[in-house]
């Protein structure tokens, strides 16, 4: 299951998580973001219990996007123990995202 993030739950769900957290910064109007959605959903299902997979709509939580200097979307940030350990920009293949998360699971 992909968890929807917002300004209210970001700290608890991401920064205080015991699991690594992959956050997809996206927007409804972004074509590449929509193309990436099936990949994000598949990763959430396949790695359930090992990594938390989340989406954050930059239009609804632009304060969080600004804090992490997200300038282009889709941007995927991987957090581990509250810190960013990897950043990927663009609609990348599932295999690329798996390479990024495997060292942390």
What tens digit of pLDDT does each residue of 29-53 get? 999 999 999 999 999 999 999 999 9
Catalytic residue (one of 5, 14, 23, 33): 33
- pTM of model > 0.85: yes
Helix (H, G, I), strand (E, B) or coil at 86: strand
Q: Is 33 a catalytic residue?
A: yes
**pLDDT at position 66, please?**
96
Cα distance between residue 30 and residue 6, in whole Å: 18
- The CATH architecture to which 3-104 belongs is 3-Layer(aba) Sandwich (3.40)
Q: What is the largest CA-CA distance in the chain?
A: 32
Mean pLDDT in residue range 58-66: 96
DSSP 74: S
**pLDDT at position 75, please?**
98
Q: Is 54 a catalytic residue?
A: no
């Amino acid at each position: 299951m992909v968890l929807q993030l917002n300004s209210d739950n970001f700290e608890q769900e991401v920064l205080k998580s015991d699991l690594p957290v992959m956050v997809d910064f996206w927007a409804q109007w972004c074509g590449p973001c929509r193309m990436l959605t099936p990949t994000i959903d598949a990763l959430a299902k396949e790695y359930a219990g090992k990594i938390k997979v989340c989406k954050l709509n930059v239009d609804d939580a632009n304060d969080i996007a600004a804090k992490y200097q997200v300038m282009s979307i889709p941007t995927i940030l991987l957090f581990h123990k509250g810190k960013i350990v990897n950043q990927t920009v663009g609609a990348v293949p599932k295999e690329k995202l798996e390479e990024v998360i495997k060292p942390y699971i």
